[in-house]
């Protein structure tokens, strides 16, 4: 082990030991001393392992890389949503939550070992250049994508506004690769799209919860409500929405609630415990709402669905949601990396934890596509795995000792993993929407409600 590496490890041991003493004070000196000794011995073993591998492993090892992987393993052993984010990954996470980034505007995914375009984002440089869904990204600026990770590919595609990148594409029907030189621009990450299903009923789709989502949905609602005919009902579609920022979920819920609890968060520490309340809105929205959910609706999506369901403000239709009832915070580290870790569980207004359980819809209806021939075809559900299936998932309730800590505390921001490959950007198409049996059923329910309400009058 090099002297520099050894100094870093022992410095970390020293800092942890001193921090433990300063945190607890002299009143429990013996307990703290024992805990510090245990920590020191464990870290000494860790440094011994690094030294052995560095000196004796069959091939030369990178100590920095080993330590990063050790940190990653340590954090991921806690629960599925806690993770160490190297600088590149931390930067991508920040882009996803900011609502925009500088790039070419494509949604990509790894498919059968090949980097494939899911769709070009409408109106972006890639869209205008002629990139199509199904195109395989063979090279980026001459570098074969098979030789680098998805994260490295994304980093190469992104870049400052006004600079260019060459994407070499393999396309079905083309005998040779095609080069596209694309000038980068600011790409908005659309989190909300909306459309009128007819003259009385609106539809709004929320794809994720970024910094701009509440603002975007307010704009969508204003448009839907400004028609010549009064809006009689709304379908809010949060299917396959993986979540995002906690304040946005609170803000969206509050648009439809005038009072009462939206969400309560209970953590081990007082500062991680909070009750969020609804307040009266400047604009009252009392039309009926149907919320569509499925197994891909997670985290912030479940907060919105749970709040509206518990307050009898919306009818929830679809299949049981993912079941992520925990709150994460992200802390930047000194080298540009980040630490995302769980700080609390959250509870719906009725006091229920959905952790590893999910939101149960009021009306259970599996998603199918209704063909124009009036036959039905099962639509593949790619979200078979739920929170309860994940390794090291938290239980729905903590132990009683943690329960006693439930007092009002300081608000914390939550982030949840959301990548572009899980986001849809295609413009909403009324004909396609009405072939979706869940959307069609939701509209039928809204129309029926209005008819029966008029009958009673």
Relative to beta strand 233-237, strand 289-293 is: parallel
- The encoded tokens of residue 233 equal 């009902």
Identify whether the C-beta of residue 136 lies closer than 8 Å to the C-beta of residue 109.
no
Q: Is the dihedral of CA 217, 222, 228, 233 positive or negative?
A: positive
CA-based nearest residue to 163, from 141, 132, 142: 141
- The encoded tokens of residue 312 equal 């009898």
DSSP letter for each residue of 379-429:
PP------GGGSTTPPPSS--HHHHTT--------------GGG---SPP-
Count CB atoms within 10 A of the CB of residue 225.
Answer: 14
- Alpha carbon of 15 to those of 12, 19, 234: distances in Å? 5, 6, 55
Q: Which residues pair with 115 in a beta bridge?
A: 110
Catalytic residue of the set 17, 253, 299, 337 = 299
Helix and strand element counts for the chain (H, E) = 12, 21
- In angstroms, the CA 239 to CA 220 distance is 18
Catalytic residue of the set 79, 310, 417, 436 = 310
CA-based nearest residue to 264, from 180, 166, 346: 346
- In angstroms, the CA 157 to CA 137 distance is 11
**Whether residue 310 lies in the annotated active site:** yes
Relative to beta strand 233-237, strand 201-206 is: parallel
CA-based nearest residue to 202, from 229, 177, 176: 229
Catalytic residue of the set 324, 340, 357, 386 = 324
Identify whether the C-beta of residue 320 lies closer than 8 Å to the C-beta of residue 351.
no
Per DSSP (E only), the strands in 121-258 are: 136-140, 143-144, 164-170, 178-183, 185-188, 192-196, 201-206, 233-237
Q: Which residues pair with 327 in a beta bridge?
A: 344
- In angstroms, the CA 291 to CA 294 distance is 10
Show the CA angle centred on residue 282, arms to residues 279 and 283, nearest 5°: 110
- In angstroms, the CA 262 to CA 241 distance is 19
Catalytic residue IDs: 299, 310, 324
């Amino acid at each position: 082990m090099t002297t520099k590496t050894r100094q870093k490890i022992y410095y970390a041991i020293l800092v942890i030991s001193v921090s433990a003493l300063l945190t607890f004070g002299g009143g429990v000196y013996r307990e703290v001393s024992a805990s510090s000794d245990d920590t020191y011995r464990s870290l000494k073993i860790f440094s011994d392992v690094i030294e052995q591998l560095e000196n004796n492993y069959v091939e030369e090892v990178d100590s920095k890389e080993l330590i990063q992987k050790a940190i990653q393993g340590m954090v991921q052993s806690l629960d599925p949503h806690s993770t160490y984010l190297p600088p590149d990954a931390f930067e991508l996470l920040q882009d996803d939550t900011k609502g925009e980034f500088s790039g070419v505007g494509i949604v990509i995914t790894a498919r059968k070992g090949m980097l494939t375009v899911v769709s070009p984002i409408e109106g972006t440089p890639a869209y205008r250049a002629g990139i199509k869904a199904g195109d395989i990204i063979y090279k980026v600026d001459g570098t074969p994508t098979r030789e680098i990770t998805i994260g490295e590919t994304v980093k190469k595609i992104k870049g400052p506004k006004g600079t260019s990148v060459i994407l070499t594409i393999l396309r079905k029907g083309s005998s040779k690769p095609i080069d596209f030189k694309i000038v980068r621009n600011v790409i908005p990450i659309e989190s909300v799209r909306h459309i009128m299903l007819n003259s009385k009923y609106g539809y709004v789709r929320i794809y994720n919860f970024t910094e701009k989502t509440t603002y975007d949905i307010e704009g969508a609602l204003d448009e839907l409500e400004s028609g010549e005919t009064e809006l009689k009902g709304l379908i809010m579609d949060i299917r396959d929405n993986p979540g995002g920022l906690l304040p946005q979920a609170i803000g969206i819920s509050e648009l439809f609630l005038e009072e009462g609890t939206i969400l309560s968060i209970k953590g081990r520490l007082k500062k991680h415990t909070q009750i969020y309340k609804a307040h009266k809105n400047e604009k009252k929205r009392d039309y009926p709402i149907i919320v569509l959910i499925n197994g891909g609706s997670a985290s912030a999506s479940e907060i919105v669905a749970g709040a509206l369901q518990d307050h009898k403000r919306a009818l929830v239709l679809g299949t049981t949601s993912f079941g992520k009832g925990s709150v994460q915070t992200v802390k930047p580290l000194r080298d540009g990396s980040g630490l995302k870790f769980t700080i609390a569980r959250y509870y719906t207004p009725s006091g229920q934890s959905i952790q590893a359980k999910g939101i149960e819809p009021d009306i259970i209806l599996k998603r199918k596509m209704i063909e124009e021939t009036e036959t039905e075809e099962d639509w593949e559900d790619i979200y078979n795995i739920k929170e309860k299936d994940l390794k090291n998932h938290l239980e729905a309730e903590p132990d009683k000792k943690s329960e006693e800590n439930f007092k009002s505390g300081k608000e914390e921001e939550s982030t949840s993993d959301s990548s572009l490959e899980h986001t849809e950007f295609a413009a909403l198409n009324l004909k396609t929407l009405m072939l979706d049996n869940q959307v069609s059923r939701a509209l039928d329910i809204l129309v029926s409600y209005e008819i029966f309400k008029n009958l009673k009058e």
